[in-house]
Structure 1
Amino acid sequence: MSKVIAAINVTINGVCDHTAGIADEVLHQHYTKLLAEADAILYGKTTYQLMEYWRTVLDNSAEQQSMKDFAVAINRIPKIVFSHTLKSVDWASASLAKGELKETILNLRRTEEKNVLIGSRSLIIQALNLNLVDELQLCIHPLIASKGLQLFENIKQQMMFKLLKTKTFNNGILMLYYQPLVGG
């Protein structure tokens, strides 16, 4: 049975926006490793469309090696996209979800050997509200953003977590690994 890991980048003040953060070699290597340890990643439409950028990196020899490695990893991993408006996706390793989030996660948890990742803010909130997250990985960037989406709005109830471990990168990024406590 696989573990469901919700992983996301966030600023000190709780903003999760792709334009607010440090996208350097260290971070690319971290996420490349995380992807290698997973069988699938779940995205909402907006995050999926942002991640399509990495398809262009595969063909660009001018990019840093860590970016190329991440591009290869994100290209390889099966992506399940949840959207009410997309009719199709054209990334060979992507598919539209055939069912609801809960049903999809429960099925993947039973059938996959490696981890199942959730990489979109909206899906992380939904999965937390459904108590379907086994581990929450917060990648905290050492900055305060002046605007952007707050990560944890729309949480239905108070949630408690057990800190499993921390990891500090030399660029000031702090990774926090949490286990949700059911009934916290």
Structure 2
Amino acid sequence: MRTVTFGINISIDGYCDHTIFNPGKELHDYFTRMMDDVDLLFFGRVMYQLMFPYWSDVAKNQSGTADENRFAERLTSIDKVVVSRSLDSAEENTRIVHSNPAEELLKLKQQPGKKILADSISLLPELIAAGLINEFHLVVHPVIVGKGRRLLDAGSLQEELNLKLIDTIIFKSGCIAHHYLKL
């Protein structure tokens, strides 16, 4: 059975607004390397629309820095599933699922392949409750935001989820990447 990884950038106070982070070379390289073991991305609509078409344009036009271009090329080359009740169309190598995200992810998890990288704050409680997330990559940025979307809202989990820290990377930028496995 495939491993499902949840990866996200987060502020010290638990907010996940990607518009406030400035990842830089070392974080682009980190996420690009992480995707070497991934052959499917599982996004919610909000994350999908945040990432695309922006990174597709960077990959096509090579308009970013060298590390951004590598990240964009890797990200756009991977097949994607986006969960949305409202999207009617998506970029190539992307399939839209309109309902039952946990059921869909379970089916995908049972297929042969590399890891699946999931990234959707709105779907996270449902995916955790279904026991579908095997590992977490949380990159904590040295900023306190005080507003925005939290990783998990109070009461969004039915029971606590115990994790084991297996790796930590401290970046020159002050960001810290934590890699956890579900116990």
1:43-82 to 2 correspondences below 5 Å: 43-52=43-52, 53-82=54-83
TM-score (norm 2): 0.91
Query: What percent of counterpart residues are identical?
Result: 31
Which residue of structure 1 aligns with residue 84 of structure 2? Answer: 83
Structure 2 residue identity aligned to 1:22: N
Aligned ranges 1:127-166 → 2 under 5 Å: 127-153=127-153, 154-166=156-168
Q: Deviations over 1:35-74 (max 9, x none)?
A: 2210101111111011111112123344201110111011
Q: Is the contact made by 2:28 and 2:68 (CA closer than 8 Å) also made in structure 1?
A: yes
Give, in whole Å, the separation in 1 of the partners of 2:8 and 2:148: 14
2:85 and 2:99 in contact (8 A); partners too: no
Question: Secondary structure of the equivalent of 1:176?
Answer: strand
The whole-number CA distance in structure 1 between the counterparts of 2:164 and 2:63 is 42
In structure 1, how many angstroms separate the alpha carbons of the residues matched to 2:97 and 2:112? 16
Q: In the aligned structure 2, how far is the partner of 1:138 from the partner of 1:147? A: 18
* Gap change, CA 1:83 and 1:98, over 3 Å in 2: closer
Count of matched residue pairs: 180
Maintained 8 Å contact 1:137/1:178 = yes
1:66–1:157: structure 2 CA closer, same or farther, 3 Å change rule?
same
1:179 aligns with 2:181: yes
SS of 1:9's equivalent in the other structure is strand
What is the 5 A alignment of 1:79-118? 79-89=80-90, 91-97=91-97, 100-118=100-118
Q: CA deviation at 1:99?
A: 5.4
Conserved 8 A contact 1:8-1:137: yes
CA distance in 2, matches of 1:86, 1:30: 30
Preserved CA contact (<8 Å) 1:163 1:177: yes
Alignment partners' CA distance in 2, 1:83 and 1:62 = 29
User: RMSD between aligned alpha carbons?
Assistant: 1.5
Following the alignment from structure 1 to structure 2, what is the Cα–Cα distance between the partners of residues 164 and 132? 19
Long gaps (5+) in structure 1: none
